[in-house]
A and B are shown apart, each in its own frame.
Chain A
C-alpha cells in the first residue's frame, strides 16, 4: 500500500518536473516571437521605456505608418511581400522538383561515385551562406542578374537542393522497392509506378521537405541583403532594414513588418502540420 503510494507520488513529481521543463523550453523559444508581436502594437515610448513596462497599451500606429506613403515612414510592404512570395514559392518548387529527383536517384539507383556525391552535397550545406555572398555577387553582377528575382531564386535553389535531396532520399529509402515492382507488374511504366505509387506514399516526406525549403527562402537575409537593391526585388527580411536610419532604429515598425512576415509562414506550417509531423517522425510510410 505504502510502496504504491510513494511510487505514485514520485511519478507525479516527475511528471510535474517534466512539464515545468517543457514550459521553460517553450518559453525560451516563444518569448522573442511573442515580444515582437507585442511590440508591434505598442507606442514607441513604451518599447524603449526603462524599466520595461509590463502591461502594454495598444496602438496600431506602426501598422498605419508602415502602409502609409513613402514620406511618412511607410515602406513598400506589398512589393516586398510579392517579391518574397515569388522568390520563395518559385525556388521551393524548383528545389523540390530537382531535390526529389535527386533523392529518388540516390535511394533507388546505383551509380559510380554515389557516396562521394552524397557527402559532397552534405559538405555543401556546411558552407555558411554569407561566405558565398561575395563570390555570388561578382558572378551575378557579371551575369547581370543582380537585383532580380531570378538571381535570388537561383541562389535559393542551390541552397535548398542538398537538404531536399537528403530528406527525400531518406523517405524513398523507406519505401520497399517491391512497391514499384508490384506496380510495374500490374502494368505501370517506371514513370507511372513512381507517380501512382511511390510519390503518394512519400507525400508527407516531400511536403515536409517543401516546408523546410520554403521557410529557408522566406526567412533568408544574408544573401538577399547582398543580392537585392531595389523595391523591385527586395524581400521582406531585407525590407526590415528600411526601418534603420543613421542614428535611430524604428523598432515598432520593424516589429510590425516582422509580424507580417511571420503570419504567412505560420499559416502555411499550420496547414501542412499534419504532414510535417508524419514526415519528421518518419512514421508516414509502412509497407
Chain B
C-alpha cells in the first residue's frame, strides 16, 4: 500500500518561495499528473518527493511513513529524468542492473530482473551498447527500464517525453500507460503538456506559481474548470473567453450580443462584469454541428481564417471584438470573409467573474 501524502509542503530558495504549502493525497496505484506552465514548481515538488531537494516546510509521507529526512535511497522510489541521465560509461545491461547491484542482489537474480525489464520494453537487441550509441527513444526506454527493474513503490517521471519528436511522444505515451497497467504502482508524472496530462492521468493536479489550482480527473478539469486559468490551460484549442456584463438575467457581450445565462451559471449579480467562456467544440456552424441536446443560441459570425484538420475544420471568427475559435464538423471549404450562422451550446458554456477569474456555478 503506497499512498503518497503531501501536507502543507513548502519550498524556499533563499528569499524566493517556489512552492507554497501544497496539500495532496495520492492513492495507491494512482497515476497522478502534475501539470502547469513553466516555472510553476512541478519539478521542485517532484524532487522533494524524491528526496533530491530539501523540504523547507510541511511533510511528505510515502506509504504512511514521513520521509522528510530520508535520503532518496531509503524511499524506494524510481525516477525517470527529462534528459534520461543514463550512466554513460555503462552498457544498457549495466545501466538496468545498477540499482540491484548496489543493493547487492545475487547476480542470477539481477540477470533475471534485467532480462524481464528488457523484454517488457523491447531492449533485448541493445543490451551491450553504451547510451551514446542509442537513439532518443531507445534511451528513453532504457531510462524506464532502469526505473522498473527495482519494483519500486512509486515511480516519478519528470517530463520524460519532452525530448522526443511528436510521433515518438505519442507512441511512448501509450507505452507508459500500458506500463502502468502492468506494474500497478503509484505514478507521479510531471509535464507541461496538457495533452499528456489528459491522456495519461487518473487525476490531474494543475499548478500555477507554486500553488495547486485544481485537482481532479481529466474530465472534471475539462468540464468544470474552477477558473479562467484552468479553462484556458486544459483542452485544445484553449477555451474562448469573451468579456461581458450581466443585464437582466442575460449576459451582454461587448459589441452588443446578448446571450441567455447558461444553466450551469447560477449566482450572478446584476451588473457583474464577467468572462463568458465556451470551447470551440460548442460553437459550430449550422448544418455542420454534432447534434447535442440542450439549449442552443444561434448567431451570425464572420470567418477570418480556417485550419482544416481533416475530420473537422477550425474556424477563426470575430465575436464581441475578440477572436474566438469554432469547430466545423463534416467540413466543407470555407472562404475567409464568409458569414456563417453558428449554434452555441449554452449548456456547455461557462461564466467566470471578470476580476477574480473564478467560475460562477449554480
Contacts and interface: CB of A to CB of B under 8 A. Distances in A.
Do the two shown chains form a genuine complex with each other? yes
Interface of A: 176, 178-179, 181-189, 192, 196-197, 200-201, 203, 285-287
A157 B72 CA distance: 37
A182 B102 contact: no
A189 B73 contact: yes
Nearest to B139: A287
Given A181-B72, A185-B50, A201 B88 contact: yes
13 contacts: A178-B85, A181-B52, A184-B72, A184-B73, A185-B72, A185-B79, A188-B102, A189-B71, A200-B89, A201-B88, A285-B88, A286-B88, A287-B88
A201 B88 CA distance: 7
Contacts of B72: 181, 184-185
Interface string B62-88: 000000000111000111010111111
A189 to B, nearest CB: 7
B166 interface: no
Contacts of B132: 286
Grouping DSSP codes into helix (H, G, I), strand (E, B) and loop, the B interface class, with mixed when no group exceeds half, is loop
A184 B52 CA distance: 9
B98 A287 contact: no
Point out which of B77, B79, B88, B99 has the most chain A C-beta atoms below 10 A from its C-beta.
B88
Interface string B29-72: 00000000000000000000011100000000000000000011
B103 interface: yes
Contacts of A178: 81, 83, 85
Interface residues of B, number: 24
B327 interface: no
Contacts of B98: 183, 186
A89 to B, nearest CB: 26
Interface of B: 50-52, 71-73, 77-79, 81, 83-89, 98-99, 102-103, 132, 146, 150
A181 B47 CA distance: 10
Contacts of B79: 181-182, 185
A186 B86 CA distance: 12
Contacts of A176: 83, 85
Point out which of B52, B77, B79, B85 has the most chain A C-beta atoms below 10 A from its C-beta.
B85
A182 B73 contact: no
Given A185-B72, A186-B102, A187-B73, A179 B78 contact: no
A112 to B, nearest CB: 13
Contacts of A179: 85, 87
A185 to B, nearest CB: 5
Nearest to A190: B71
Contact of A181 (B85, B86, B88, B103): B85
Contacts of A185: 50-52, 72-73, 77-79
B144 to A, nearest CB: 13
B85 A187 contact: no
Given A186-B102, A189-B73, A201-B89, A287 B83 contact: yes
Listed from nearest, the 10 A-B pairs whose CB atoms lie closest are A178-B85, A186-B99, A187-B102, A182-B85, A187-B73, A184-B72, A178-B81, A185-B72, A200-B89, A185-B79
